[in-house]
Amino acid sequence: MINITLPDGSRRPFEHPVSVADVALSIGPGLAKAALGGKVDGRLVDASFVIENDAALEIVTDKHPDALDVLRHSTAHLLAQAVQRLFPGTQVTIGPVIDNGFFYDFASERQFTLEDLPAIEAEMLRIVKEALPVTRSVKTRDEAVAFFQGMGEHYKAEIIQSIPATEDLSLYTQGEFTDLCRGPHVPGTDKLRAFKLMKGAGAYWGGDHNNQMLSRIYGTAWLNDKDLKAHLTQIEEAEKRDHRKIAKQLELFHLQEEAPGLVFWHPKGWQLWQVVEQYMRGVYRASGYQEVRCPQILDVSLWKKSGHWDNYKENMFFTESEKRTYALKPMNCPGHVQVFNQGLHSYRDLPIRYGEFGACHRNEPSGALHGILRVRGFTQDDGHIFCTPDQVEAEVTDFHRQALKVYQDFGFQDVQIKIALRPESRLGDDATWDKAEAALRAALSACGVAWEELPGEGAFYGPKIEYHLKDAIGRTWQLGTMQVDFMMPERLGAEYVDESSTKRHPVMLHRAIVGSMERFLGILIENHAGAFPAWLSPVQAVVMNITDAQADWVESVRKTLVNQGFRVKADLRNEKIGYKIREHTLQKVPYLLVVGDREKENGMIAVRTRSGEDLGSMPVEDFLAKLRAENGPVA
């Protein structure tokens, strides 16, 4: 007798081993038809998987959180089958699930292009209509190698040869197509409904540029057409909001080949930067941070002590002088420890909070660079708190509240919180990590918030809280972090004297709210599509004349507004007023101030918004009051 426990706690007895599909059918034909797979004792399996002992079972339908992964994995196989039907002789390599979809790499005589995708997609749809059953078989490593070599799939055979000989391998077959895969997969190709091929690209076999260039096809797959349409609409909207296009249109910054991953900020872009930086500087002050500034390069001996040499050197830039090797700092923390170490501290001095808008450099792969969202040179709103173990929870709690206020001030209301836990390669012992992770959980519990845990994703020196923000079109971005570090203060000799005159190592809290300033500004540009609220906009208003006769009044208005601290420009060009209005509207300036003879005579300005709303004529003082009311939050 086998007992199957369902999610509602009920049990179903079976007299013999039973498949996931059979259990679903015993519950009802509707569930059996909807079943995509199962989860047996927490393990994701095929619907055909046979349960031989008592087990807990979840039936995976399109309502289950794991359904998308199963569908996307299966759709990658669907793509590979269609490609081999249309282009005989093409070899398959790997086809993993990625965010929002999947890709598959092919070894072919030709690189696939966008023009090939409609035909491949049409063939995929034909295979769906064929409703081919998807079946699983098991082979030893050597049997699998021989099988794929016999099919002419030399890349797949090479992949298998790298697997230990003791491991049995699962193969999945649909029609004439068979692929190596752990699975699970849908029961049949008719379960694959909503997908679209997105683009093609090149990819080197094994990621090594010395190897053959493969042809990669990216696709997306969803549970239904509605979700697919929403995703495609989001992509279309994201393309319109691409921060690189908007930056060029608004003259904010540029990138060029001579400085990969480094940013050339233009006056308006740097003005936007300064608005954010000065706001964050106010957060520093209000939260009791002392601002510091540390060197850009430090001798590698310090990076060896800190642990970066062993755990991070592949991502660091190095330089030499007078037979000494230096590293450009990838992080600000070791420098802040050096500041702390200048003088002996009492427990009464703690917590000590240092903040720095610290420029860092990381040797990111060129293929990973993306506008200002992924760069090699960046500045952090970085801070480090040196405190006693008893102060950790209060400091993390205070930081959490600060971070949420900042995000709300910048217009982000939907914030998800995650804790990244110990990675495989790390400093310290498990007891220290247990203590650090427990401190973060306790602080978030004290704030009354829910969080998700991410095993293996912490920094090498400590676990961290991550803040993930949802933007105007539903995309999620990871920004701020708070990390608990028991290791680095000890490695770098940071000490304080406790109540019993004993020297102790402080706990070091690494914190950033916006994270990389470059990345945050890129997110802001895309979130607002370049149409920033008045308090953030590089130019808050432009004053324009209709004829030369109003030039003196235009300049007087501009000076009045500028003297009150606002970012205002005058446009005295000999152009028609309609042309000026259109141009500054395209530049997304919040307020367009028009001056004609009547406005000059009455000491007024005619106010329009970039959306085209006419606010009528008003005294300059009234407009000043309006700007003041919109001039942003106070840290």
Catalytic residue status for 362: yes
DSSP state, residue 373: T
Of 81, 333, 336, 511, the active-site residue reads 333
Whether residue 562 contacts residue 568, with contact meaning beta carbons closer than 8 Å, is answered with yes
Counting DSSP H helices and E strands in the chain, the numbers are 20, 36
Catalytic residue status for 550: no
Of 380, 540, 550, 587, the active-site residue reads 380
CA distance 172 to 180: 6
Query: Quick one: tokens of 1?
Result: 């007798």
CA distance 49 to 186: 12
Of 381, 382, 485, 571, the active-site residue reads 382
CA dihedral 49, 52, 56, 58 (to 10 degrees): 20
CA–CA distance from 454 to each of 420, 541, 614 (Å)? 5, 45, 50
State the number of CA atoms in the 13 A half-sphere of 288 facing the CB: 11
Catalytic residue status for 243: no
Residue type for position 592:
L
Q: Is 36 exposed, middle or buried (0-12, 13-18, 19+ CB in 10 A)?
A: buried
Backbone angles phi, psi at 317, to 5 degrees: -100, 140
The crossing angle, in degrees rounded to 10, of helices 392-409 and 267-286 is 140
**Alpha helix segments (H runs only) across 366-429:** 392-409
DSSP state, residue 315: G
Q: Is 83 exposed, middle or buried (0-12, 13-18, 19+ CB in 10 A)?
A: buried
Catalytic residue status for 510: yes
The set of residues, in sequence order, having a beta carbon less than 8 Å from that of 531 and lying 6+ positions away, is 588, 610
**Alpha helix segments (H runs only) across 138-224:** 141-150, 154-161
Catalytic residue status for 382: yes
Whether residue 373 contacts residue 363, with contact meaning beta carbons closer than 8 Å, is answered with no
Of 73, 268, 384, 567, the active-site residue reads 384
Query: Quick one: tokens of 592?
Result: 């367009």
Catalytic residue status for 73: no
Of 308, 361, 422, 510, the active-site residue reads 510
CA distance 105 to 288: 53
Of 73, 268, 464, 558, the active-site residue reads 464
Of 241, 243, 362, 600, the active-site residue reads 362
The set of residues, in sequence order, having a beta carbon less than 8 Å from that of 418 and lying 6+ positions away, is 451, 452, 453, 454, 465, 466, 468
The gap between the terminal CA atoms of the chain, to the nearest Å, is 66
Residues identified as active-site: 333, 362, 380, 382, 384, 464, 510
